[in-house]
Amino acid sequence: MEAVELLAVGRGSSVVPVSFEILDRGGAGLRMRFLGRDWQSFSGSNLFKCLLDARTDLEAEGLLLCCQGARPDVFPSGMQQQMDSGRFAAVLSRSAEEEEIVDIFAAAEPSQVDSVEGQRVAVYQFFNLPISAAGGDE
């Protein structure tokens, strides 16, 4: 298990510390605690998907998590999701020479992050995929 401390930003520039425990045994798992609440557990096929679920819960509280995995230009390839359980992801770039890989749990500036939906839209736009008005795929 690895402990990670990150920040989340909310309305009015409020800053909230968020604690994570990254579970590395028996598949991908993540535990999160913030604002003195009990630990919440997330499991999935990889850590990036667990992080998406944790971010969704934070967003329901009006908070955006400030980590590399919340940047709209960061997304793991299928190979990254399988090889390292989605812990690392590529910074999307049109330049083949500038491949940058980041740890999704590394800190990011508030100006660099977006919501889960904003990230999804940005990734779909990067790959020229259609997005329906309802938020689902066409």
Out of 22-31, 71-80, 102-111, 117-126, pick the least confident. Answer: 22-31
Rounded percentage of the chain residues whose pLDDT exceeds 90 = 70
Burial 76-107 (b: 16+ CB within 10 A, else e): beeebbeebbbbbbbebeeeeeeeeebebbee
Distance of alpha carbon 106 from the chain centroid: 10
DSSP string, 42-57: EEESSHHHHHHHHHHH
Q: Closest Cα to residue 75, out of 23, 24, 8, 120?
A: 120
**What average pLDDT does range 108-133 have in this prediction?**
91
Task: Pick left, alpha or beta for residue 135 (phi over 0 → left; psi -120 to 50 → alpha; otherwise beta).
Answer: left
Q: How much is the pLDDT for 135?
A: 52
| Cross-sheet strand order for the sheet of 15-23 | 40-44, 28-34, 15-23, 2-9, 64-65
CB 75 within 8 A of CB 102: no
CA distances from 60 to 72, 87, 102 (A): 18, 24, 26
